[in-house]
Chains A and B, each alone.
Chain A
Amino acid sequence: MIRSRDLSIRKKLIAAFVTITVVALILSGTSLVIASWFNEREAAMSELETLAELIGANSRAALIFEDAAAAEETLDTLRIWPDIVYGSLHDTEGTQLARFVRDGDGEAWSGPPALGEKSAVYADGIITVASPVIFDNQEIGGVVIRSSMQSRLDRLARNIAISFIVLLVSFLIAMLIAVRLSRSFTDPLRKLSSMMQRVTEHHDYSQRADLDQKDEVGTLANGIDRMLTVIEEREESLEKSHKELEETVSQRTAELLEANTRLKEELREREKTETELQQAHQALEQHYRKFSLLSQMNDRLQICHSIEETRPVISHYIQKLFADGIGGALYTFNDSHSLVEALVSWGEQEPAEETFEQNDCWALRQGRAHIVLDPAGELICDHCKDDISGPYMCIPLIGYGDVIGLLHLRVNPEWKDYESYHATEELSQLGVSASEHLALALANLRLREELQEQSVRDPLTGLFNRRYMQETLEREMARSQRAGDSLAVIMLDIDYFKKFNDTYGHDAGDTVLRELGELLANIIRDDDVACRFGGEEFLVIMPGISRSVAEQRAEEIRQAVKLIKIQHKGKRLEGLSVSLGIGLYPEHGDSVEAITNAADAALYKAKELGRDRYVVAKAKKPGEKAASQTS
């Protein structure tokens, strides 16, 4: 369905105009037809009434004298009106006197006669008029006339047809006028609207209607033109300001972006700085912690008396210092300075080699740190080439100018900070630092040990002196007493010692003594203590040994001495032998003196028996024992 507001004004105008015209014409035509129909009917009726009266008047005599022929004659005059189909005259009784029937209309009408009143009735296209005939104020009969409305209806139809044609013509004329008129309205409107469309689509505000009309549309067009001029000006100024705004915005955006970039950079830098600071702080803390550990370790090491005592201290602190995936070992040279031995080792990567030679390590050979970051592409020390898989470093321990050991550190490749060179750097620094501390502490200890040794040892033979022997024997005897253990003392003396001095010179005796000291130091167990008792006498303390084992040892020593080959100034010294006396605790007494005396007595017994043999002291009698205690 088309809604009226969707139609163009032109169509609306045409429709309105034509509708109004057609409606007006139809209404007027219809009313005209209806009016003319009623008029016609009225006219016909009044005509018929007049006719009826006339006929009645002319038929008075015929009625009065009941002359049917005359009456018929009169009625016959109705023939000249073609519409009249019937006429009749009757007397007051209602008896019909005469009638007229139109030819061809066949059956006659037989309605009621007209009596008293005049009447006019229309029915079925026929008007029936009845009129009484009055004569001298007396009703003498009646007339009935019936007339067909056919011709009038025909006329009416003709009129309707003409009206219809007029309607059609009017419609066409109205259409024409409407089209012309609407065009005069809508053409300028269309022009205006298409202009407005151009304006809207292309934003071209320079468009103008330029209608040369003085009517309302012209006024509208002029108004729109003026409005467009105003809009155009505003648009221009708006565009200008918009451009300025855009420029400002883009400028501001660029500035903002720049500022943002700067800010970001600053932030990044600040973050970096902060991270660095934090790292530095952490490093510092770490350093502080490490160095405080180092210093603690140093303090503890200071109060150690021997290298041996340092072992748990170093083990404790070094594991704290080098935690986090770092393992290693601390090696020290042995007494003869031929090998390095592991003093402490720790970590998952504990080195396999417990001892190795100086030449096996590049650090020891060079006397400075050897750091390997990539084991695949650098020189690897022999001592660790079999079990190394990551970076490692060997740092020599240098105390008082001497290389006294080696700090070996290896980094676990699985370690999270493995990649970090910084860690390695730090590690090496810490390593060096630790090595310095350790070296100093160990060197000091060594020095102290040496000093101590110098005070307890015989300088010629390297064995303990008599004072140390005294202390040791007392300590050992007390210990054996507590433990209910036994103890043996072997005293030995070089046979015919004067003969060497006499034969080979004074130095030869010293050489013999030194060689024998060395032999004793080597042959005895670790628990045993060998001492120079004085002159050419030596004493070996053997804790926890039974008589038979003591005898066996004594025999071993005797035989070993016999096998020593001593060179002195290109000459071979021969005929060296020793005599040995064995004293036993608790068999031979419970004091140092008693035991040593018993051993001494046994030694003299061996000398007496011919030398180059051992003798076990005789068991003392209770009285003697008491006597010896008192002395």
Chain B
Amino acid sequence: MTLKHCKLFLAAVAFLFCDSMAAAAPEYEVKAAFIYNFSRFIDWPEEPEAKKDLYFCVLGRDPFGEALENLEGREVQGRTLTIRRLERIEERGDCAIIYISPSLSGDYVALLDILSRDRGVLSISDIDGFAENGGVIELYLENNKVRFAINIEAARRTGLEMSSQLLRLARIIEGDGS
């Protein structure tokens, strides 16, 4: 074997290894990063007094584990990302991002109904059919990769402005599920 072939072989091995690493990455770490990154491409409606903190609230059982700890305190559009864990929807307060855990997959339509009256709330969940049913962003897996779908109508209704770049990456859900 020549040196060139050897190099090609090594490169191929490295690629496969990297791919398997990605695939092996914990799903919720990626999802946590996604959620953080969504916040960077979304403009919340202006409020009279700008809040210093951007609350990321997890409703239901927290599937992220350690991953969320990494996000705590990060700067997003001049605001500090702060993690809150909610037991009930009523505790939501001025949460800007509400993640609905798959543990609440039976009740999420009702929860969405509650949230639909709120302004400037980004609802995210990896429950299947979340976006079609009025959720703003639904995370899902495709070919072992995390993808997302956006319900533009829902986003518009709650007053969020999505970046076109973000929209281009997402599977767009039109129409109102409710």
List residues of chain A with CB under 8 Å of any chain B CB. Answer: 58-62, 64-65, 67, 70, 73, 95, 135-136
B40 CB contact (under 8 Å) in A64, A70, A95: A64
Alpha-carbon distance A61/B38, docked complex (angstroms): 9
B103 sits at the interface (CB 8 A): no
Q: Is the CB of A61 within 8 A of B165?
A: yes
Given the contacts A135-B40, A136-B40, A61 and B163 also touching, CB distance less than 8 Å: yes
Q: Is the CB of B75 within 8 A of A70?
A: no
Q: Is the CB of A61 within 8 A of B41?
A: yes
Of the A-B pairs whose beta carbons lie under 8 Å apart in the complex, a sample of 25, sorted by A's number, is A58-B165, A59-B165, A60-B165, A61-B41, A61-B163, A61-B165, A61-B166, A61-B168, A61-B169, A62-B165, A62-B168, A62-B169, A64-B37, A65-B34, A65-B37, A65-B169, A67-B169, A70-B168, A70-B169, A73-B168, A95-B18, A135-B40, A136-B40, A136-B75, A136-B76
Q: How far is the CB of B40 from chain A (nearest CB, A)?
A: 6
Q: Which of B153-178 contact A (CB under 8 A)?
A: 163, 165-166, 168-169
Q: For the complex, would chain B's binding face be called helix, strand, loop or mixed by DSSP majority? A: helix
Q: What 15 new A-B contacts, CB under 8 Å, besides A62-B165, A136-B40?
A: A58-B165, A59-B165, A60-B165, A61-B163, A61-B168, A61-B169, A62-B169, A64-B40, A65-B37, A65-B169, A70-B169, A73-B168, A95-B18, A136-B75, A136-B77
Alpha-carbon distance A95/B19, docked complex (angstroms): 12
Most A CB atoms within 10 A — which of B41, B77, B165, B168?
B165
For residue B169, which residues in chain A have a CB less than 8 angstroms away from its CB?
61-62, 65, 67, 70
List residues of chain B with CB under 8 Å of any chain A CB. Answer: 18, 34, 37, 40-41, 75-77, 163, 165-166, 168-169
For residue B165, which residues in chain A have a CB less than 8 angstroms away from its CB?
58-62
Alpha-carbon distance A390/B47, docked complex (angstroms): 184
Alpha-carbon distance A136/B163, docked complex (angstroms): 14
For residue A70, which residues in chain B have a CB less than 8 angstroms away from its CB?
168-169
Count of A-B residue pairs with CB < 8 Å: 27
Instruction: Closest B residue to A71 by CB, please name it.
Output: B169
Alpha-carbon distance A330/B79, docked complex (angstroms): 190
Q: How far is the CB of A173 from chain B (nearest CB, A)?
A: 59
Instruction: Closest A residue to B74 by CB, please name it.
Output: A136
Alpha-carbon distance A165/B8, docked complex (angstroms): 54
Alpha-carbon distance A61/B77, docked complex (angstroms): 15
Q: How far is the CB of A89 from chain B (nearest CB, A)?
A: 13
Q: How far is the CB of B25 from chain A (nearest CB, A)?
A: 11
For residue A64, which residues in chain B have a CB less than 8 angstroms away from its CB?
37, 40
Alpha-carbon distance A116/B52, docked complex (angstroms): 31
For residue A65, which residues in chain B have a CB less than 8 angstroms away from its CB?
34, 37, 169
For residue A58, which residues in chain B have a CB less than 8 angstroms away from its CB?
165
The 10 residue pairs across chains A and B that have the minimum distance between CB atoms: A61-B165, A64-B37, A67-B169, A70-B169, A61-B166, A61-B169, A65-B169, A70-B168, A60-B165, A61-B41
Q: How far is the CB of B124 from chain A (nearest CB, A)?
A: 14
Most A CB atoms within 10 A — which of B18, B37, B77?
B37
Instruction: Closest B residue to A61 by CB, please name it.
Output: B165
For residue B18, which residues in chain A have a CB less than 8 angstroms away from its CB?
95
Q: How far is the CB of B14 from chain A (nearest CB, A)?
A: 10
For residue B163, which residues in chain A have a CB less than 8 angstroms away from its CB?
61
Alpha-carbon distance A95/B76, docked complex (angstroms): 25
For residue B76, which residues in chain A have a CB less than 8 angstroms away from its CB?
136
Q: How far is the CB of A64 from chain B (nearest CB, A)?
A: 5
Instruction: Closest B residue to A93 by CB, please name it.
Output: B18
